[in-house]
Amino acid sequence: MIKEVIVVEGKDDVRAVKRAVDAELIAVGGFGINETIIDRIREAQKRQGVIVFTDPDFAGEKIRKIISRRVRGIKHAYISQEDGIKNGNVGVENALPETIISALKNAKCELKKKRSEFDINDMIFWGLTGELNSKKKRDRLGKELGIGYCNTSQFLFRLNNYGIKREELKMAVDKINERDK
Protein backbone atom coordinates (compact mmCIF):
# COMPACT_ATOMS: atom_id res chain seq x y z
CA MET A 1 0.00 0.00 0.00
CA ILE A 2 1.31 3.45 -0.94
CA LYS A 3 1.56 5.81 2.04
CA GLU A 4 1.12 9.04 0.10
CA VAL A 5 -2.14 10.20 -1.44
CA ILE A 6 -1.81 10.27 -5.22
CA VAL A 7 -3.32 13.25 -7.04
CA VAL A 8 -4.43 12.62 -10.62
CA GLU A 9 -6.49 14.51 -13.17
CA GLY A 10 -9.61 12.40 -13.62
CA LYS A 11 -11.61 9.25 -12.97
CA ASP A 12 -9.94 7.29 -15.76
CA ASP A 13 -6.57 8.02 -14.14
CA VAL A 14 -7.92 6.83 -10.78
CA ARG A 15 -8.95 3.50 -12.35
CA ALA A 16 -5.56 3.06 -14.03
CA VAL A 17 -3.57 3.80 -10.86
CA LYS A 18 -5.85 1.54 -8.75
CA ARG A 19 -5.17 -1.31 -11.20
CA ALA A 20 -1.46 -0.89 -10.45
CA VAL A 21 -1.30 -0.07 -6.71
CA ASP A 22 -3.33 0.16 -3.52
CA ALA A 23 -3.52 3.85 -2.65
CA GLU A 24 -5.80 6.73 -1.74
CA LEU A 25 -6.36 9.01 -4.74
CA ILE A 26 -7.72 12.47 -5.34
CA ALA A 27 -8.98 13.34 -8.83
CA VAL A 28 -8.84 17.09 -9.44
CA GLY A 29 -11.17 17.07 -12.45
CA GLY A 30 -8.79 18.71 -14.88
CA PHE A 31 -8.61 22.49 -14.65
CA GLY A 32 -11.54 22.43 -12.23
CA ILE A 33 -9.18 22.69 -9.27
CA ASN A 34 -11.10 24.69 -6.71
CA GLU A 35 -10.31 25.68 -3.13
CA THR A 36 -12.09 22.59 -1.77
CA ILE A 37 -9.78 20.30 -3.77
CA ILE A 38 -6.69 22.31 -2.78
CA ASP A 39 -7.74 22.09 0.90
CA ARG A 40 -8.10 18.33 0.55
CA ILE A 41 -4.66 18.07 -1.04
CA ARG A 42 -3.18 20.21 1.76
CA GLU A 43 -4.77 17.97 4.39
CA ALA A 44 -3.47 14.87 2.60
CA GLN A 45 0.02 16.41 2.45
CA LYS A 46 -0.08 17.18 6.15
CA ARG A 47 -1.28 13.69 7.12
CA GLN A 48 0.28 11.27 4.62
CA GLY A 49 2.20 13.17 1.96
CA VAL A 50 1.14 13.71 -1.65
CA ILE A 51 2.40 12.54 -5.03
CA VAL A 52 1.14 14.50 -8.03
CA PHE A 53 0.79 12.22 -11.06
CA THR A 54 -0.64 14.15 -14.01
CA ASP A 55 -0.68 13.49 -17.73
CA PRO A 56 2.51 14.13 -19.74
CA ASP A 57 1.00 17.01 -21.71
CA PHE A 58 0.50 20.77 -21.46
CA ALA A 59 -2.65 20.51 -19.34
CA GLY A 60 -1.02 18.00 -16.98
CA GLU A 61 1.99 20.24 -16.45
CA LYS A 62 -0.21 23.26 -15.86
CA ILE A 63 -2.23 21.38 -13.22
CA ARG A 64 1.01 20.14 -11.62
CA LYS A 65 2.29 23.74 -11.38
CA ILE A 66 -0.98 25.02 -9.87
CA ILE A 67 -0.83 22.36 -7.15
CA SER A 68 2.91 22.85 -6.56
CA ARG A 69 2.46 26.58 -6.00
CA ARG A 70 -0.35 26.06 -3.48
CA VAL A 71 0.87 22.96 -1.59
CA ARG A 72 4.48 22.74 -0.42
CA GLY A 73 6.64 19.63 -0.17
CA ILE A 74 4.77 17.35 -2.54
CA LYS A 75 6.42 14.63 -4.61
CA HIS A 76 5.99 14.17 -8.35
CA ALA A 77 5.55 11.06 -10.51
CA TYR A 78 6.04 11.21 -14.26
CA ILE A 79 5.49 9.04 -17.29
CA SER A 80 6.70 9.80 -20.80
CA GLN A 81 4.27 10.65 -23.57
CA GLU A 82 5.38 7.45 -25.25
CA ASP A 83 4.31 5.41 -22.19
CA GLY A 84 0.95 7.14 -21.95
CA ILE A 85 -0.31 7.21 -25.52
CA LYS A 86 -3.17 5.16 -26.94
CA ASN A 87 -5.09 5.96 -30.11
CA GLY A 88 -3.61 9.47 -30.19
CA ASN A 89 -4.71 10.21 -26.62
CA VAL A 90 -1.96 10.94 -24.06
CA GLY A 91 -2.62 10.29 -20.40
CA VAL A 92 -1.90 8.36 -17.23
CA GLU A 93 -5.05 6.33 -17.92
CA ASN A 94 -3.28 4.73 -20.90
CA ALA A 95 -0.16 3.64 -19.01
CA LEU A 96 0.50 0.01 -18.19
CA PRO A 97 0.44 -0.96 -14.51
CA GLU A 98 4.19 -1.62 -14.51
CA THR A 99 4.81 1.87 -15.95
CA ILE A 100 2.69 3.41 -13.19
CA ILE A 101 4.52 1.40 -10.52
CA SER A 102 7.88 2.49 -11.95
CA ALA A 103 6.83 6.17 -11.97
CA LEU A 104 5.73 5.96 -8.33
CA LYS A 105 8.97 4.23 -7.32
CA ASN A 106 10.93 7.00 -9.05
CA ALA A 107 8.89 9.53 -7.04
CA LYS A 108 10.22 7.80 -3.90
CA CYS A 109 6.81 6.73 -2.68
CA GLU A 110 6.71 5.07 0.70
CA LEU A 111 4.94 1.85 1.51
CA LYS A 112 2.87 1.27 4.62
CA LYS A 113 0.88 -1.50 6.18
CA LYS A 114 -2.82 -1.32 5.55
CA ARG A 115 -4.37 0.39 8.56
CA SER A 116 -7.69 -0.83 9.89
CA GLU A 117 -8.32 1.17 13.06
CA PHE A 118 -11.90 1.82 11.96
CA ASP A 119 -14.41 -0.67 10.57
CA ILE A 120 -18.08 -0.73 9.58
CA ASN A 121 -19.12 -1.06 13.23
CA ASP A 122 -17.57 2.35 13.91
CA MET A 123 -19.51 3.82 11.00
CA ILE A 124 -22.74 2.46 12.49
CA PHE A 125 -21.82 3.58 16.02
CA TRP A 126 -21.14 7.17 14.91
CA GLY A 127 -24.29 7.24 12.74
CA LEU A 128 -22.27 7.58 9.54
CA THR A 129 -24.23 4.83 7.84
CA GLY A 130 -27.66 3.29 8.20
CA GLU A 131 -29.49 6.40 9.40
CA LEU A 132 -31.60 8.93 7.54
CA ASN A 133 -29.07 11.71 8.09
CA SER A 134 -25.89 9.60 7.65
CA LYS A 135 -25.03 11.21 4.31
CA LYS A 136 -25.28 14.69 5.85
CA LYS A 137 -23.17 13.60 8.84
CA ARG A 138 -20.44 12.19 6.58
CA ASP A 139 -20.47 15.41 4.56
CA ARG A 140 -20.09 17.61 7.64
CA LEU A 141 -17.55 15.32 9.27
CA GLY A 142 -15.56 15.07 6.04
CA LYS A 143 -15.33 18.88 5.96
CA GLU A 144 -14.33 19.02 9.62
CA LEU A 145 -11.60 16.39 9.19
CA GLY A 146 -10.47 17.72 5.81
CA ILE A 147 -11.06 14.43 3.99
CA GLY A 148 -14.05 15.50 1.88
CA TYR A 149 -17.43 13.91 1.28
CA CYS A 150 -17.79 10.33 0.07
CA ASN A 151 -19.94 7.23 0.44
CA THR A 152 -19.69 4.96 3.50
CA SER A 153 -17.01 2.58 2.24
CA GLN A 154 -14.82 5.38 0.87
CA PHE A 155 -15.24 7.36 4.11
CA LEU A 156 -14.09 4.34 6.10
CA PHE A 157 -11.14 3.93 3.73
CA ARG A 158 -10.16 7.59 4.20
CA LEU A 159 -10.45 7.45 7.99
CA ASN A 160 -7.91 4.63 7.96
CA ASN A 161 -5.66 5.93 5.17
CA TYR A 162 -5.39 9.48 6.46
CA GLY A 163 -4.24 8.19 9.85
CA ILE A 164 -7.16 9.69 11.76
CA LYS A 165 -7.17 8.64 15.41
CA ARG A 166 -10.25 7.68 17.41
CA GLU A 167 -9.89 10.72 19.66
CA GLU A 168 -9.68 13.00 16.62
CA LEU A 169 -12.86 11.48 15.19
CA LYS A 170 -14.64 11.82 18.55
CA MET A 171 -13.62 15.48 18.84
CA ALA A 172 -14.84 16.21 15.30
CA VAL A 173 -18.19 14.46 15.96
CA ASP A 174 -18.57 16.36 19.25
CA LYS A 175 -17.82 19.65 17.48
CA ILE A 176 -20.47 18.97 14.83
CA ASN A 177 -23.00 17.89 17.47
CA GLU A 178 -22.28 21.05 19.46
CA ARG A 179 -23.06 23.21 16.42
CA ASP A 180 -26.42 21.43 16.07
CA LYS A 181 -27.55 22.51 19.54
Three-state secondary-structure class, residue 86:
strand
| Crossing angle for the helix pair 134-145 and 152-161, to the nearest 10 degrees | 20
**How many whole angstroms separate alpha carbon 113 and alpha carbon 33?**
30
| Structural domains of the chain in order of their starting residue, each with its CATH number | 5-106 (3.40.1360.10), 120-180 (no CATH)
pLDDT single digits (tens) 57-108: 999 999 999 999 999 999 999 999 999 999 989 999 999 999 999 999 999 9
Amino acid (one-letter) located at 148: G
pLDDT single digits (tens) 14-26: 999 999 999 999 9
Q: What pTM does this model have?
A: 0.81
CA terminus-to-terminus distance, the chain:
41
CA angle (134, 140, 143) in 5-degree steps: 135
